[in-house]
């Protein structure tokens, strides 16, 4: 019998069956078996695991694993989680980048066209116009110029917004003025009308958007966090909103998800809460990407490029 590919960490049997069906259709040459039903021989022989939110003990129970394919783009929960240094391949998928870029543009328009203010006014039956700001007068700063940030930049530029961006290493992105490293950040922040967070969560980016950095944005700026909750210091964000320094925050990600019912963010007038929906994994597209990774591995014997464990992404 052909060696099985393990499927680990789906949220319940319904999700497991859905993911398995879609993945299996994209790779009919592979035998995809959920970890929980693998027998001892299959567990011993498995070289590849496709994981959603895996229990590290299940990964540890596959001693012959050569690499792990994540179904998500963000892998902060996987880096350092396993009993041995396994290559972790994160999901880099065109459809996810397209969806995320669409979300960045949609919520940028929401802020540029003053929708939070008009929604508030409607609830108070207030008829008042706000001065129109052209896209060309609203500078968008992107924290992160990777697979998602660079696609978002292209979409924003096409819509007429000036885009500036920040990365860890120097980066050339067409029509984007770029900054890099800790030293490059202050100069970029001072130019931002809207700051969009698309960096991975690592030891370096945890708490990155704090009081000082929020204060460095243009007065009345807004924040969009579509990356991970702990990158923004929630208390500092609420203080910046309450103090009027920051006009609004659109948050898709939180320290704890689902956002607890008693969180002050739910009812804050300066906050839009989204339930982690900005860049969902499209399973059909993800399955094609994963299948291509597996085929390349079967052909060459070399695992696809994994994340850099030391960098954390
Ligand atoms: P990526 O391709 O790895 O790009 C990450 C970018 O962040 C790179 O430009 C990188 O710089 C930069 N970066 C990393 N650490 C940095 C640091 N310390 N200082 C400055 N820049 C730093 O990742 P991606 O695919 O674009 O995804 C980004 C994140 O989005 C994911 O990690 C995930 O957390 C989040 N996400 C959220 C959702 C959602 O639904 N809310 C969906 C998908 C992904 P270099 O270019 O120099 O490497």
CATH number at residue 159: 3.40.50.720
143 in any annotated domain = yes
User: Which of 148, 184, 209, 306 best tests ligand 1's pocket when mutated (most atoms within 8 Å of CB)?
Assistant: 148
pLDDT at 153: 98
pLDDT at 2: 79
Do 148 and 259 fall into the same domain? yes
Do 30 and 160 fall into the same domain? no
pLDDT at 145: 98
186 in any annotated domain = yes
Do 51 and 143 fall into the same domain? no
Which long-range contacts does 177-184 make (Cβ < 8 Å, 24+ apart)? 178/145
Q: Which domain, by its residues, includes 225? A: 97-273
Give the closest residue (by CA) to ligand 1 atom 29. Answer: 200
Phi–psi pair at 233, nearest 5 degrees: -85, 110
Provide the domain count of the chain: 2
* 54 and 9 Cβ atoms separated by less than 8 Å: yes
Separation between Cα atoms, residue 106 and residue 104, nearest integer Å: 6
Separation between Cα atoms, residue 214 and residue 211, nearest integer Å: 5
312 in any annotated domain = no
pLDDT at 11: 94
Give the closest residue (by CA) to ligand 1 atom 19. Answer: 168
Do 179 and 193 fall into the same domain? yes
Show pLDDT as tens, one digit a residue, over the chain (313 residues): 779 999 999 999 999 999 999 999 999 999 999 999 999 999 999 999 999 999 999 999 999 999 999 999 999 999 999 999 999 999 999 999 999 999 999 999 999 999 999 999 999 999 999 999 999 999 999 999 999 999 999 999 999 999 999 999 999 999 999 999 999 999 999 999 999 999 999 999 999 999 999 999 999 999 999 999 999 999 999 999 999 999 999 999 999 999 999 999 999 999 999 999 999 999 999 999 999 999 999 999 999 999 999 999 9
Handedness of CA 139, 143, 144, 148 (dihedral sign): negative
* 198 and 209 Cβ atoms separated by less than 8 Å: no
**Alpha-helical regions (H) of 162-303:** 181-189, 211-215, 234-242, 283-300
Residue list, ligand 1 pocket, CB within 6 Å: 73-74, 96, 100, 144-149, 166-169, 171, 198-202, 204-205, 226-228, 252-253, 276, 278-279, 313
Nearest alpha-carbon partner for 245 in 214, 223, 224, 271: 214
pLDDT at 304: 96
Do 116 and 256 fall into the same domain? yes
């Amino acid at each position: 019998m052909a060696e099985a590919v393990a499927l680990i960490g789906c949220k319940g049997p319904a999700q497991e069956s859905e993911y398995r069906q879609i993945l299996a259709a994209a790779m009919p040459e592979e035998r995809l078996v959920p970890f929980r039903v693998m027998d001892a021989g299959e567990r011993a022989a498995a070289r590849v695991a496709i994981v959603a939110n895996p229990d590290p003990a299940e990964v540890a129970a596959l001693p012959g694993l050569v690499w792990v394919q994540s179904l998500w783009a963000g892998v902060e929960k996987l880096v350092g989680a396993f009993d041995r240094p396994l290559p972790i391949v994160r999901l880099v998928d065109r459809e996810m980048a397209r969806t995320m870029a669409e979300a960045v543009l949609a919520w940028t328009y929401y802020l540029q066209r003053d929708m939070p203010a008009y929604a508030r006014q409607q609830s108070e039956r207030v008829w008042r116009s706000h001065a129109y700001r052209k896209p060309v007068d609203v500078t968008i700063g992107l924290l992160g110029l990777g697979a998602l940030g660079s696609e978002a930049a292209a979409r924003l530029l096409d819509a007429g917004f000036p885009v500036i961006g920040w990365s860890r290493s120097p980066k050339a992105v067409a029509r984007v003025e770029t900054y890099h490293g800790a030293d490059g950040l202050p100069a970029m922040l001072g130019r931002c009308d809207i700051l969009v967070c698309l960096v991975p969560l690592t030891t370096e980016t945890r708490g990155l958007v704090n009081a000082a950095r929020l204060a460095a944005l243009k007065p009345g700026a807004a924040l969009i966090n579509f990356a991970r909750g702990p990158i923004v210091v929630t208390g500092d964000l609420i203080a910046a909103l309450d103090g009027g320094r920051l006009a609004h925050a659109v948050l898709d990600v939180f320290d704890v998800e689902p956002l607890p019912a008693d969180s002050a963010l739910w009812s804050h007038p300066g906050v839009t809460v989204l339930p982690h929906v900005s860049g969902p994994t499209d399973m059909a597209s993800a399955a094609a990407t994963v299948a291509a990774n597996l085929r390349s591995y079967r052909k060459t014997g070399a695992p696809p490029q994994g994340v850099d464990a030391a960098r954390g992404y």
